[in-house]
Structure formats: C-alpha cells, structure tokens
Chains A and B, each alone.
Chain A
Amino acid sequence: MQENEIQEALFKIVKVYLPQDVKESAIQLESHLMQDLGINSAHLVDVVLDVEDAFDITLDEKDMEAMKTVSNAIEIVTAKTAS
C-alpha cells in the first residue's frame, strides 16, 4: 500500500472521532491525536480498532503508545503492512 493511500485511510478514520468543535481541516500529518485534535483517550481505543480493521493488522501495547500523531500512525501501519 502506498503511503498516500495509508494517509488517506487514516484521515478518514480519525475524522469520525473529532469533537464537534474541531474541523476536519485540522487533521494534519503532525497533528497530535489528543492534544491537537481533541480526541479523548476512550476514543483512541476505538481509533486503534478501526486501524486494525482497515489494514488487517494487530497493534500491540507498544504500537498504541507510539501512535501519538497521524504521522506516527502512518509509520506504524507502513511497517506492519510491509512485513
């Protein structure tokens, strides 16, 4: 899968969890999921499940901790889907 495809898929996943006062345009590569996009910690659990389903991968505890920004997520997914 190309990096831009991964990025597009991740943006689509994250979009669903944005609080009502955060616009879709706020999602950037370096956006911090919690601090910049206001996604609460409970919903991060759901983001992780959606990412697993979208890419047919399994994310462990370490991956979840490392997934702080959108670009972190792209790196993790790229590594997992390449192997």
Chain B
Amino acid sequence: MNTDNNRRRVVITGMGVVAPNAIGVSAFAKALQEQTSGIRFDPQLADLNFGCQVSGTPQITEELLADNFTPLQLRGLKASGLVYGVIAGKEAFKDAGLEIASPEKALSEMGIIFGTGQSGGEKFREAIHLIDDKKVRRLGSTSVIQTMTSGISAWLAGELGCGNIVTSNSSACCTGTEAFLMGYERIAAGKATQMLVGSTSDSGPYIWGGFDAMRILPTKYNQDPENASRPLSEDAAGFVPGSGAGAFILEHLGSAQKRGAKIYAEVLGGAVNSGGHRADGSMTAPNGQAVQDCIHLAMKDAGVTATEIDAINGHLTATSKDAFEIKNWSTAFKLKGAEFPFINTFKSCIGHCLAAAGSIELVGAVLQLKEQKIYGNSNITSIHPEIMDVIDKKSFPLSSKYVDLNILAKASFGFGDVNACVLLKKYSS
C-alpha cells in the first residue's frame, strides 16, 4: 500500500472511451477482447499525398452526436478532439452514477484535469483563412472554445457543473497518464473528492502531418490497414496515427463506499519525470535512465515491488524504440526471461492516439484488472530479436485470456523526453 499513511485512498468509479475500434466502455472491452482493429484506410490522407494513408479514427455517428450535443452546440463544431472528449467525459460521469450540479451551485468537491496536445486544428484552419481574408469578425463565437487547449475541460465543467480545479494538461503522449496521476494526487491530498480526468486528441491531417513529415509513420500498409500497426514485431515500421479520448472518475474511497458506487480498481500511485534531453534522451528519443527512474519512482510511490506486478500495459508504439522500452522495464524491475510479467499494448488495434493514448489505454488496462484478463497483442509476425534477448515469449500473449491480475503498471513515454507511470490494483471490498 501507499507509503504515505496520510494519503487518502483513491479508486476508479467511472470510465468513458472513444476509441478507433469502439465507442463506449463495454464495446471497447469487447473490441479489445476480440482484438478488433480500428485502423482503416484514410481517404483524406491519401488525397493530401501523405506517405501514411491509414489511421485510427473513431467512427462517430450522427446519432451519437445528437445524444451528446444540442443542435446549437453542433453548429460549426469542427474540433474532433473536443467531440471525443465531451462524449468520453460524459460517459465516465454517467457511469459513476454522479448527478449534474444544480443550476445554482457548482460541485465544489469535483474537479477536472482533461488534457490534449492541441485543440481543433480543423477549426483553427478555418479561422486562419477567414483572418487572412480580412474577415476576422466572421469567426463567430465558437472559435475560442474550439481552439483553446482548455476548451475540453471548460466545456465539461459547464455541462456537469464542476467547481474544483478545472484545467487541461499537455505532455504529448504522456498527457492522459499524467492527467490521471494529477487527479489522483489531488484527491489523495484531500483537495478534491472526485476528479474527472482524461485526455483527448484530434483526428486529421493537421495534427498528423508533422509525424508524416518526420517519416515515422508506416507507408507500406496503405492497402492493408489492419496490419499497419506492428508493435513488438521484428517488422514494426512506425506508429499508425490515431485519435480519440479516454476519461475516468477518480474518487476518494470513502466517498465511493458511502455512495455504494461500482469500483473498477484502486489507484496505488505513480510518477512522472523527464529525461531532460540528456544522455541518450532528446526531443524525440527517451533517456533510458529517466524511464527506469520513472518506473522506480512509481513503484516507490505506490509501495509495491517489481515481483508483485502481474502485468504491464506498455507504451510500445511500433517503432524501433519498442525493444529499448522492454530493456528499460527489465532493467528497472531487475527481472529477465520467464520472471518478467505479462506485457501488452493495444496500439496494434487502435494505433497511437497521441495525447489520448495514455487515457484510452488506461481504460483498457483497468478493464483487464476488473475482468481478470489480459488482452492479446496483434500483428506480431515474430517478436523483435532484441526483445527476445531480454524476456520470454510467454510474456506476450497473442490472444486474450483469463489470468490472475492483482497489480498492473501502465506507462506512457512521450515526445519531449517525458515519462509517466501509474500503478493500479484490483479492488476487493
């Protein structure tokens, strides 16, 4: 348990998700169980001559939009990340059985930390064209909310009536995992009772273009999208761009028990750090020592040892860095070969959802604890030899199966040499 006895216990009482392969928590559980791919040919990327013409884009229907937005809210709404975040955030809130604030008074004990990389690239593009045409007054009233980074947290705060901290963090691929930890810490420190935490990421060429330009996306699978994302595999050829949102209600255990709320899992603790672009770290590469330090700090914070950890949900994006990540886990845990716990990644089915990666994958990780399952890794032709040098192939389940899971580690490692690691525990009352 937590090393700090003054720290309050925190549990997960609600979840929501908008993922490339499913929308809604129960559909996502089924998709992960069945290893359903959400990677599709993307005609817009093809029209724009992208090298990579596949993406993991959530399939949002008109019906889903009508369920989550008023006709007025939908007017001129072009920020896909905002749409995903609102849908996931509202699902988590509803799932937790919480009630929206009365019209007169905000919920002072409930806050929001909902991150994103950027917001509304498509809307921003529209605004830029109008401004350059000297028509700034034609922007209307929704340009600000759709393009500001904190648009998602502000929107959800208004819908739900949250009166505690309301903010949006941003740390590239770590954003979701970091938001989760920040919300946890706030409740643990007694500064809030419930926190809606998560992250979201836009779809489309204006967010993915920079990665295509860096030539780190796969280009040989445009006619074979479901095979494009190949984490852990010897023939991994880059990450598939994805998008979506994941959301959680974190809650003080005492409050959850008092409400008789459903509890998915307990949050034991975690850590965030940065390699500072030193040693082997850079803007785009992780500093291995810092990754190991982050894992150590997380274990110390949570009061668990490496041998107690049953499974890891890795960052594992399907680039040449996958083997380096495995080596860092192995070194941090001081465990090799068959001693190493299960490890998996959902990116083979959903791609790399960038700022939303941590939160979407955390939803899957929590589902694994709740259902006592490990979901299979897809698209491994043969495991990368440098990985096989470190750990046993039994650590990588290729299909989903029931296993005993007590403690699970989830990590995200991001652009800018930033790291985040969370430790979760099965909850039994």
**Which of B38-46, B68-76, B90-98, B188-196 contacts the other chain?**
B68-76
**Which of A3-11, A23-31, A41-49, A73-81 contacts the other chain?**
A41-49
- B70 partner, pick from A20, A43, A46, beta carbons under 8 A: A20
- Which single residue of chain A is at the shortest CB-CB distance from B141? A42
Number of interface residues of B (CB under 8 A): 8
Q: Which residues from chain A contact B141 at a C-beta distance below 8 Å?
A: 42-43, 45-46
User: Which chain A residues in 29-45 approach chain B with CB under 8 Å?
Assistant: 42-43, 45
CA distance A2 to B138 in the complex (A): 27
CB of B210 within 8 Å of the partner chain: no
B140 touches A16 (CB 8 A): no
- Which single residue of chain B is at the shortest CB-CB distance from A64? B137
- B72 partner, pick from A16, A45, A49, beta carbons under 8 A: A16
A17 touches B72 (CB 8 A): yes
A49 touches B138 (CB 8 A): yes
Q: Which residues from chain A contact B72 at a C-beta distance below 8 Å?
A: 16-17, 43
Q: Which residues from chain A contact B70 at a C-beta distance below 8 Å?
A: 20
CB-CB contacts of B51-76 with A at 8 A, as 1s and 0s?
A: 00000000000000000001110010
CB-CB contacts of B126-163 with A at 8 A, as 1s and 0s?
A: 00000000000010111000000000000000000000
Q: How far in angstroms is the closest Cβ of chain A from B188?
A: 37
CA distance A46 to B71 in the complex (A): 14
Q: How far in angstroms is the closest Cβ of chain A from B214?
A: 38
Q: Which residues from chain B contact A42 at a C-beta distance below 8 Å?
A: 141
Q: Which residues from chain B contact A16 at a C-beta distance below 8 Å?
A: 71-72, 75
CA distance A43 to B142 in the complex (A): 9
CA distance A34 to B402 in the complex (A): 59
Which 10 residue pairs of A and B lie closest in terms of their CB atoms, listed nearest first?
A42-B141, A45-B141, A46-B140, A46-B141, A49-B140, A16-B72, A43-B141, A45-B140, A49-B138, A17-B72
Please give the residue numbers on chain B whose beta carbons come within 8 Å of chain A beta carbons, in ascending order.
Answer: 70-72, 75, 138, 140-142
Please give the residue numbers on chain A whose beta carbons come within 8 Å of chain B beta carbons, in ascending order.
Answer: 16-17, 20, 42-43, 45-46, 49
Additional A-B contact list (14), CB under 8 Å, known A45-B141, A46-B141: A16-B71, A16-B72, A16-B75, A17-B72, A20-B70, A42-B141, A43-B72, A43-B141, A45-B140, A46-B75, A46-B140, A46-B142, A49-B138, A49-B140
A-B residue pairs in contact (CB < 8 Å), sample of 16: A16-B71, A16-B72, A16-B75, A17-B72, A20-B70, A42-B141, A43-B72, A43-B141, A45-B140, A45-B141, A46-B75, A46-B140, A46-B141, A46-B142, A49-B138, A49-B140
